Chain A
Amino acid sequence: MFKRMARKVASRVKDEDTTIRPTSQVDFLKDFLSKHNYVFSQDFEENLEILKKKHLVDDFVVTNFDGSVVASSNGNGQSDGIMGTAMFSYIKSEIPDSEAVLIKREDGWFMLFALNKKVFIVRAGSDLSGIELKALALELSILMEENKETKMEKRVAR
């Protein structure tokens, strides 16, 4: 009994380390980044899908100011494109210094944003900040530019 008590006192004084490495949590964390690894492929449509996941949005449509669709993550953004561009152009004409338009609908948020002479119409579950919209628009612009270059190269190769 004395021995046990002495060991306890010694352990207290020595501040013994009783911690253990949480193996299962470490294993879980090791796998975490692989689930958020966004590697773009050669396929433009596939890349739009990847971008959608990366930026946590439901859908997006990119249009010219005349409403013609440049890119769409659901493959069919014609009606959203026309409506979104018309809405953005109207707001912009009424409030010239407006940067983005946010519309709350039953099925989520619609965010309209212009960059590099294109209108970006983004649908998401919750509203995105201007920063997030800009980040998505910038990455989309790069992707569209690369896609244009690839198409040009293919045309030249032919």
Chain B
Amino acid sequence: MTRVIVIASGKGGTGKTTITANMGIALAKAGKKVLLVDADVAMANLSLILGMQSSPITLHDVLLGESQVHDAIYDGPNGLHFIPSGLSLDNYKRVDSERLSGIIATIADQYDFILMDAAAGIEKNVLSALSAAQETLLVTMPTSPAIADALKTKIVAQRLGSKVIGVIINFVMGEKGEISKSECSSILELPVYGSVPYDPEVRKSFMQQKVLPVIARKPDSIAAKEMQKIASRLIGVQVSNSDDHKDKKGFFSKFTSIFRRNKK
């Protein structure tokens, strides 16, 4: 049975799009039929993260009723399929995002997973994405403003009848002031699907001639490994909960790394 999951957060900049792209690739690598949908119709950038920005027909055209949904589906990395949203501002005001639910329903049976990247906030476009998905996966950061917004998103998702299945904590640095994984879980009353460490490799993935999500470019990086685990949990595979990203460097290794960096 197809699982339609929306990745939402309320707050902007939590890494929803990056996580959607990476999880999509991880699920596709695991042999699942995956469709990624950029449901952020106003500030679409999933196509940039996937390196697929020049798609002529987009979700905008489908929502406007000017194109068929099958014409907006493209082949992405590792065999996943992808529906981009338009990068231009020309059409987005005319787009009726309330049609999203019906569009997803027409193609749902062709996939194992449909992951939708929602916009930040709780405006109409976000509501459309939340109501088009049976399940919601929240992405937050270990800070109080991000968790407050995730709480609001959870309430809105439930109001619209979407089941909130869990939360992913992103940009974890292991600092004393961060809200811990167990606290996040207790505040949001949700299981934590994964805790993705801050990893410069994620950022570096956008700064390449050929842009590819970190899970495809550097699958051994700590963030990629954690996102791989999250995808496994989504499939239902048991994974160990070791916090292997807590590799705090000591004084001397940090000191010597300064010189190493300078040599480069």
**A54 pairs with B159, CB closer than 8 A:** yes
Taking a contact as CB atoms closer than 8 A, the residue among B124, B127, B131, B187 that contacts A32 in the complex is: B187
Q: Which residues from 46 to 86 on chain B have a C-beta closer than 8 Å to any C-beta of chain A?
A: none
Q: Given A30-B186, A33-B189, A129-B124, A135 and B177 touching (CB < 8 A)?
A: no
For residue B43, which residues in chain A have a CB less than 8 angstroms away from its CB?
none
**Cα-based distance from A135 to B161 in the complex (angstroms):** 7
For residue A43, which residues in chain B have a CB less than 8 angstroms away from its CB?
none
CB A100 to nearest CB in B, in angstroms, measures 10
For residue A55, which residues in chain B have a CB less than 8 angstroms away from its CB?
159
Q: Given A14-B254, A32-B151, A26 and B98 touching (CB < 8 A)?
A: no
**A32 pairs with B251, CB closer than 8 A:** no
For residue B133, which residues in chain A have a CB less than 8 angstroms away from its CB?
none
CB B54 to nearest CB in A, in angstroms, measures 31
CB A115 to nearest CB in B, in angstroms, measures 14
Taking a contact as CB atoms closer than 8 A, the residue among B151, B176, B255 that contacts A29 in the complex is: B151
Interface assignment of A6: CB less than 8 Å from any CB of chain B: no
B147-174 interface code vs A (CB 8 A; 1 in, 0 out): 1100100110001110000000000000
CB B1 to nearest CB in A, in angstroms, measures 21
For residue B147, which residues in chain A have a CB less than 8 angstroms away from its CB?
29
User: Closest A-chain residue to B144, C-beta based?
Assistant: A25
**B148 pairs with A32, CB closer than 8 A:** yes
Q: Given A129-B124, A135-B159, A26 and B255 touching (CB < 8 A)?
A: no
Interface assignment of A20: CB less than 8 Å from any CB of chain B: yes
Taking a contact as CB atoms closer than 8 A, the residue among A10, A15, A30, A129 that contacts B127 in the complex is: A129
**Cα-based distance from A130 to B101 in the complex (angstroms):** 12
Taking a contact as CB atoms closer than 8 A, the residue among A17, A26, A36, A130 that contacts B187 in the complex is: A26
Interface assignment of B207: CB less than 8 Å from any CB of chain A: no
A115-158 interface code vs B (CB 8 A; 1 in, 0 out): 00000000000000111101100110000000000000000000
User: Closest A-chain residue to B251, C-beta based?
Assistant: A14
The dominant DSSP class at the B interface is helix
Interface assignment of A21: CB less than 8 Å from any CB of chain B: yes
Number of interface residues of A (CB under 8 A): 26
Q: Which residues from 91 to 131 on chain B have a C-beta closer than 8 Å to any C-beta of chain A?
A: 98, 101, 124, 127-128, 131
CB A27 to nearest CB in B, in angstroms, measures 10
For residue B128, which residues in chain A have a CB less than 8 angstroms away from its CB?
129, 131
Chain A residues at the B interface, C-beta cutoff of 8 Å: 10, 13-15, 17, 19-22, 25-26, 29-30, 32-33, 36, 54-55, 129-132, 134-135, 138-139
Chain B residues at the A interface, C-beta cutoff of 8 Å: 98, 101, 124, 127-128, 131, 144, 147-148, 151, 154-155, 159-161, 175-179, 183, 186-189, 251, 254-255, 258
28 A-B residue contacts at CB 8 Å? A10-B251, A13-B255, A13-B258, A14-B255, A15-B254, A17-B177, A19-B176, A20-B177, A21-B176, A21-B177, A21-B178, A21-B179, A22-B144, A22-B179, A26-B183, A26-B187, A29-B147, A29-B148, A30-B186, A30-B187, A32-B187, A54-B159, A55-B159, A129-B98, A129-B124, A131-B124, A131-B127, A134-B131
